[in-house]
Amino acid sequence: MPIDRPVALVTGASRGIGRAIALELARLGHAIVVNFARSAAAADEVVNAIRAAKGQAIAVGADVASSADRANLVARTLAEFGRIDVLVNNAGITSPGRRDLLEATEESWDAVLGTNLKAPFFLSQAVAREMIRLIQAQSIPHGKIINISSISAFAASTDRADY
């Protein structure tokens, strides 16, 4: 059902920086889609905090590294709110097992790049397509895509070669 307020989809919003972003966007008047991969309870806490402050929010479990989950995340957002005005690509993982170059596995490489690189790229693509459709239909004035990065872009860490 379409709503009058802007809608923000925040990945990795059940804790940490994503939680803070979701709460602030809700305070600013956005309806929030709280994406989580593992902890439905933590996501529900964020949703409950937003609703307690008279905001609108839903929690949607989705592994953003999965194409099917990304499609479901976008579809659930549109089904619930009828629009997406803001995408915050915040979800990220560190190296599973924290291995160095000589011990890193192809599976850990795929997990890190799937979540940290492939997911924001293809989720942005899917959401941008919807934003263009919504702008052309005059359902939203404009769209915004925000990518959150890590300090590790500037500093090396031991035992995280694939990160």
Which residues, other chains included, contact 93 with Cβ-Cβ below 8 Å and sequence gap of 6+? 111, 112, 115, 116
Strands 31-36 and 144-147: unpaired
- Measured distance CA(95)–CA(163) in Å, rounded: 5
Which of 7, 73, 111, 163 is catalytic? The answer is: 163
- 114: annotated active-site residue: no
- Catalytic center residues: 163
